[in-house]
């Protein structure tokens, strides 16, 4: 029908727009794994990829969402210290800018809390194993084996997060490309 050609024309009209949307969509999925909702994630990615500061109206147009949802999302991102309000001479509206270095700080904070949680889990599992070893003479029983497996699994997760932490420490000190 006429509808498909219309869609084709729009996509064909600006293929870069399509790539931009795909980047925002994929990058924001990563952020949704943290405490941000879909709108907040998409807004952060939009600001992160946008070189100049943006007004609420520009965000609204870019994301096709209401101004209210943009201002709510901005508040959350300000709370997380992921964006900042900036001032430009002659611009009466509030402007917002992504704090690129804060993204790495944000990641570090999450990795740190994951590591702390893993540590707590390992301690709990180890104390269960100790109690278990007191009632069974033989460390060969099925439960001992299961707990040891669970502890090893947590340790391998810890490895992964420690590597992420190192990676971010290194990339954080790299000068940002302007």
Report pLDDT for 139. 58
Contact 100, 64 (CB under 8 A): no
Return the exposure string of 122-149: e unless at least 16 CB atoms fall within 10 Å of the residue's CB, then b.
beebeeebeeeeeeeeeeeeeeeeebee
Q: Give residue 178's pLDDT band: very low, low, confident or very high (50, 70, 90).
A: very low
Domain that holds residue 115: 102-172
**Cα atoms found within 13 Å of the Cα of residue 94, Cβ hemisphere only:** 12
- 109 occurs within a structural domain: yes
Instruction: Summarize pLDDT for 50-66 with one digit per residue, the tens.
Output: 879 999 999 999 999 99
Do the Cβ atoms of 86 and 53 come closer than 8 Å?
yes
Tokens of 66: 């209401």
Backbone phi and psi for residue 94, each to the nearest 5 degrees, phi listed first: -70, 140
What is the rounded distance in angstroms from the CA atom of residue 19 to the CA atom of residue 28?
Answer: 14
Which pLDDT value is given to residue 56?
Answer: 96
Query: Domain boundary at 54, 80, 98, which?
Result: 98
pLDDT digits (tens, 9 = 90+) for 79-121: 888 899 998 888 889 999 998 787 777 777 778 888 888 888 8
Of 125 and 14, the structure prediction assigns the larger pLDDT to: 125
Residue 101 and residue 173: Cα distance in Å, rounded? 9
111-150 pLDDT per residue, tens: 888 888 888 889 988 888 888 888 876 656 788 888 888 8
CB atoms within 10 A of CB 71: 13
Rounded CA gap, 26 and 45, in Å? 10
The pLDDT of residue 68 is: 95
- Among 98, 123, 157, identify where a domain stops: 98
Give the residue ranges of DSSP H helices in 35-141.
38-49, 56-63, 67-79, 100-135
DSSP string across 4-66: HHHHHHHHHH-HHHHHHHHHHHHHHHHHHTTT--HHHHHHHHHHHH-SS-B-HHHHHHHHT--
- CA nearest neighbour of 55 among 27, 92, 101, 102: 92
For the chain, the domain total comes to 2
Tell whether 1 is covered by a domain: no
The answer to whether position 144 is within a domain reads yes
Rounded mean pLDDT of 25-46? 82
- 19 and 93 housed in the same domain: yes
**pTM reported for the whole predicted model:** 0.55
Give the helix/strand (H/E) hosting 154: helix 142-173
Quote the pLDDT of residue 30. 73
CATH number at residue 28: 1.10.10.10
Average pLDDT score over residue span 12-21 = 71
> Is pLDDT at 176 greater than 60 in this prediction?
no
Which whole number is the average pLDDT over 150-167?
Answer: 83
């Amino acid at each position: 029908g006429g509808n498909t050609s219309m869609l084709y024309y729009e996509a064909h009209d600006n293929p870069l727009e399509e790539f931009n949307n795909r980047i925002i969509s994929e990058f924001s999925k990563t952020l949704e794994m943290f405490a941000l909702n879909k709108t907040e994630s998409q807004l952060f990615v939009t600001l992160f990829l946008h070189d100049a500061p943006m007004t609420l109206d520009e965000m609204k147009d870019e994301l096709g969402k209401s101004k209210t949802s943009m201002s709510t999302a901005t508040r959350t991102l300000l709370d997380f210290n992921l964006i900042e309000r900036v001032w430009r001479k002659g611009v009466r509206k509030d402007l917002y800018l992504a704090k690129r270095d804060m993204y790495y700080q944000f990641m570090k904070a999450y990795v740190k809390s994951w590591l702390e949680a893993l540590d707590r889990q390992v301690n709990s599992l180890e104390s269960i194993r100790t109690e278990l070893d007191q009632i069974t003479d033989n460390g060969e029983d099925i439960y001992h084996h299961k707990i040891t497996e669970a502890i090893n699994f947590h340790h391998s997760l810890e490895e992964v997060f420690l590597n992420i932490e190192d990676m971010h420490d290194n990339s954080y000190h790299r000068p940002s490309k302007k």
